[in-house]
């Protein structure tokens, strides 16, 4: 039995168990003469217990409802009669206890035995069918399961269909949003490949139509660009037509394993198609988008809009130069503090909070409540203030003629509370 969990309750109980067992065995084995047994009676604490009873008898509320009490001293026949049973009892208890204990504390043993058995079985099996190892570890991080591969492609296709290409609306969000905006999720659950294909077809059709519409609105601006995009969209459309066929082909699977040879072949075909589709989709999407964006900029923007855009761009370029600057270095004073006073650590800590500290120094008004700010202004109504033993002293000090006068005789009670706009305050 492991003793490293000596603290466990059961362990404790178990130890107790052992103790009582040994005690009781000892009692049973110890066949001493009757006389000696009687001597033992004298060792008994019956007298103590009785004495105790005398003391507290008034505190015990012994009404009719009070439980009964029977005391059998050491050596009493009653106790002896009980002992055998106690041993039985403890034994049976021990059996029960150790059973449950075994399942808990010897879990490790069980497990390792289990492992051993398993390993043995494993070894035999491995020797028999060499090479056909159940877990697929190839070391190249490439998915071997065609269904899972398909699923990944489906997922990324959906991902692409859902993406919004960047626009300036996105940038108006504050940067503190940690997480992305809620996104539409249209990927069907489960591994039914045909169903996936079906859903994808519907989505693709809508996507294609949307892109087509955008493209058509720009047709008259630039025909060469239009034909370029048109071609790309047609490619997508062709892929879509092929994909539709797959919704009716054999692609059955169970537990992500394709069932038939036909299904396997079809899946391979489908995979090729989807990868191609992905490329076409990307190209079409980007081209149509950029075409539209450019035409927006050139033809649809008013001159005022163009002017503001130009203006912002100029301003931003200036802003960008800040990004290029290296982080602020230590100024001369700080440098001196680092070198002369060995305050390197403190300075580097303070540097991390430089913005806050500077702001606090420059305009403390922003960081303290008004009643605290008011402390350095003359009090409004002096009379309403509580009696302050130093009031008179200060009143005398106020005129400037008293420069060099003695300090106040007794400072007021120390006010221990500070009003730091503490960052660390809980």
Partner 1 sequence: MDQALRNKFFPQQILYFIAGRRCCQQFACTFRSSEHNILVTYACSLGLRSQYVVNNGQGCVKIFKRSCMHYLNEPKSLNMCRSTAREIFTLLSLTSNLGIYELSADYLGHWKVKMPIHHMSLAALNPPTTMRLRTQQYGKYLPSSAGYSCIRNLLESVYSHRVIAVNGHLAMDKSILFPLVILDDAQLKKANLFIVCIESDNIVAEYNSERFAQCLDESVGNTVGIQVPKLCNISSRTHIVYTTAKYFMRSLFGKESKKLDQISHVVVNDIHLHVPYTDILLSELKQAVNMNQNLRIILLSQADNSSRFLNFFAEGFEFCVDRPSQAGTRISYLEEIQSCISLADIRKGPEIYKKKTHFLNKSLRNEQTDKCLQAYEELGNDSAIRPLIYAINYELVPVNYQHSFTGKTAIIIASQWANAKHIRLLLFMGANPYILDNNHENAITTAFTHGNHECIDILSNFGLHGYVVKNSRPDFVDYDAIINIMYLICTKPNYAPGNILVLLPTYNHLVKLNYMLLSHFLTAHLHELAIFLLHANMDMEYLNDLVNTKTDTIKVVLATDIVGSLPLPISFQYLIDTACQRKTLYDVSCNSTEERYEWVAKDCLMQRLLMLDVQAVAERQCFRLITRNTYDNLDVTGSPEMQTMPLDKICLIAKLLSPNTVISEYLSYTIAPPPLVNIHQTVQFLKKIDVLDDMEDVTWLGCRLIDVPVPCQFGRTLIYGILMQCLDPILTIVSAMSIDDPLSIPFSEDIDSLWDQYTIYIQNRIKGERSRLASNQVSDHLIFIRLFEEWKGRLKNNKPPLYLTDEHEFVVNGLMEQINFTRISIINALRAANLIHSQGQLSWNSINLMSNKWPLVKAALTGGLYPNICAIDYKNKCVNSAHSLNLHLHPSTVLRDFFQPLNISQCICTQWMVCTKEKSNIKYATIVAPLALAMFAGCNKLGLEQITEIQMPSNETHIHFFIDEWIWMEVLKSDFELLLKLRQLFFKGYHYLLRQCSESDKWRSDCNMMAFYSLLSKTLSIIFDNEDATAGFKKCSGISNGANLKEHYQYLRTINSHFIWHQEVDDKIALIQKGDPCVGYNSHSIERQFFLLHTEDKPDKFYQISDAAYIENVIGKFARPIVSPSRHIYVILYTKNPDTMLSISRAKIQKGEFILKEYFRNTIPVYEILEACVNLNVTVPNFDGRLISSLIDKRVGNLIMDLFAFRHHWIHN
Partner 2 sequence: MEPHWTNNYCKHHVNGTLYVITCLPMTAVQLMALESGAGEIFLTRIKKQTTPEDIMRVAIQLDDVYMLRFKIDFSFRSRGYAYLQYVNVDTMERALAVLQSLFRQAKLKIQVRQSNNLKSLFLKDVNHLNPLQVYEELRLIWRYDKLYVLEYKPLQYAYIIEYRNNYEATIAFNVLKSQMGIFGNNLFVIWVNKDEHSPVSHPVPNCCAVLLRYQLNWMNIIQPYYPCFMF
CB 106 within 8 A of CB 78: no
Least Å distance, CB 354 to partner 1, is 8
Using CA atoms, how far apart are residues 285 and 232, in angstroms rounded to an integer? 9
Instruction: For partner 2, give the closer residue by CB, 40 or 309.
Output: 40
Nearest to 282 by CA among 242, 323, 250, 239: 239
Least Å distance, CB 81 to partner 1, is 32
Least Å distance, CB 59 to partner 1, is 10
Sign, Cα dihedral of 55, 60, 63, 67: negative
Residue 286 binding result from partner 2, partner 1, none, given CB thresholds of 5 to 8 Å by partner type:
partner 1
Using CA atoms, how far apart are residues 196 and 80, in angstroms rounded to an integer? 80
Instruction: For partner 2, give the closer residue by CB, 61 or 169.
Output: 61
CB 246 within 8 A of CB 204: no
Q: Which residues contact 344 (CB under 8 A, 6 or more apart)?
A: 338
Instruction: For partner 1, give the closer residue by CB, 88 or 108.
Output: 108
Using CA atoms, how far apart are residues 276 and 120, in angstroms rounded to an integer? 48
Instruction: For partner 2, give the closer residue by CB, 79 or 192.
Output: 79
Least Å distance, CB 121 to partner 1, is 7
Residue 74 binding result from partner 2, partner 1, none, given CB thresholds of 5 to 8 Å by partner type:
partner 2
CB 277 within 8 A of CB 157: yes
Instruction: For partner 1, give the closer residue by CB, 304 or 423.
Output: 423
Using CA atoms, how far apart are residues 371 and 210, in angstroms rounded to an integer? 62
Least Å distance, CB 2 to partner 2, is 20
Residue 320 binding result from partner 1, partner 2, none, given CB thresholds of 5 to 8 Å by partner type:
partner 1
Residue 64 binding result from partner 1, partner 2, none, given CB thresholds of 5 to 8 Å by partner type:
partner 2
Residue 409 binding result from partner 1, partner 2, none, given CB thresholds of 5 to 8 Å by partner type:
none
Residue 27: other Cβ atoms inside 10 A: 15
Using CA atoms, how far apart are residues 302 and 312, in angstroms rounded to an integer? 16
Residue 382 binding result from partner 1, partner 2, none, given CB thresholds of 5 to 8 Å by partner type:
partner 1
Nearest to 256 by CA among 178, 318, 193: 193
Tell me which residues touch partner 2 (CB under 8 A): 9, 12-13, 16-17, 19-20, 23-24, 27, 40-41, 43-50, 52-54, 56-57, 60, 62-74, 76-79, 81-83, 85-86, 88-89, 93, 96-97
Strand, helix or coil for residue 258: strand
Instruction: For partner 2, give the closer residue by CB, 93 or 408.
Output: 93
Least Å distance, CB 206 to partner 1, is 17
Residue 358 binding result from partner 1, partner 2, none, given CB thresholds of 5 to 8 Å by partner type:
partner 1
Instruction: For partner 1, give the closer residue by CB, 45 or 103.
Output: 103
Structure tokens at 297: 């900029």
Least Å distance, CB 389 to partner 1, is 8
Residue the block writes with tokens 């290409």: 165
Q: What is the largest CA-CA distance in the chain?
A: 126
Instruction: For partner 2, give the closer residue by CB, 97 or 235.
Output: 97
């Amino acid at each position: 039995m492991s003793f490293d969990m000596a603290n466990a309750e059961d362990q404790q109980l178990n130890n107790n168990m052992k103790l009582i067992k040994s005690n009781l065995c000892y009692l049973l084995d110890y066949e001493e003469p009757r006389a000696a047994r009687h001597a033992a009676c004298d060792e008994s604490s019956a007298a103590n217990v009785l004495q105790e009873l005398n003391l507290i008898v008034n505190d015990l509320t012994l009404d009719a409802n009070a439980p009964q009490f029977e005391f059998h001293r050491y050596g009493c026949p009653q106790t002896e009669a009980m002992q055998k049973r106690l041993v039985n009892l403890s034994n049976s208890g021990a059996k029960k206890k150790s059973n449950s204990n075994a399942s808990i504390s010897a879990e490790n043993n069980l497990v390792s035995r289990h492992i051993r058995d398993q390993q043995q079985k494993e070894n035999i099996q491995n020797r028999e069918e060499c090479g056909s190892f159940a877990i697929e570890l190839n070391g190249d991080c490439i998915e071997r399961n065609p269904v899972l591969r398909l699923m990944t492609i489906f997922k990324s296709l959906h991902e692409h269909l859902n993406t919004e290409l960047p626009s300036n609306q996105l940038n108006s969000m504050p940067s503190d949003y940690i997480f992305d905006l809620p996104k539409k999720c249209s990927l069907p659950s489960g591994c039914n490949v045909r169903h996936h294909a079906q859903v994808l077809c519907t989505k693709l059709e809508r996507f294609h139509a949307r892109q087509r519409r955008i493209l058509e609105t720009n047709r008259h601006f630039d025909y060469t660009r239009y034909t370029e995009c048109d071609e790309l969209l047609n490619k997508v459309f062709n892929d879509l037509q092929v994909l539709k066929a797959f919704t009716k082909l054999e692609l059955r699977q169970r537990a992500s394993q394709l069932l038939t040879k036909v299904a396997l072949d079809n899946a391979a075909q489908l995979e090729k198609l989807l990868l191609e589709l992905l490329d076409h989709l990307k190209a079409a999407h980007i081209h149509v988008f950029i075409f539209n964006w450019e035409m927006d900029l050139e033809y649809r923007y008013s001159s005022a809009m163009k002017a503001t855009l130009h203006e912002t761009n100029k301003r931003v370029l200036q802003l960008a130069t800040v990004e290029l600057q290296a982080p602020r270095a230590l100024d001369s004073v700080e440098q001196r503090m680092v070198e002369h006073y060995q305050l390197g650590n403190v300075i580097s800590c303070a540097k991390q909070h430089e913005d806050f500290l500077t702001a606090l120094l420059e305009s403390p008004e922003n960081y303290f409540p008004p009643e605290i700010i008011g402390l350095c202004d003359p009090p409004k109504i002096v009379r309403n203030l509580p009696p302050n033993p130093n009031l008179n002293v200060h009143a005398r000090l106020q005129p400037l003629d008293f420069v060099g006068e003695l300090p106040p005789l007794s400072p007021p009670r120390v006010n221990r509370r500070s009003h730091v706009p503490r960052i660390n305050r809980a």
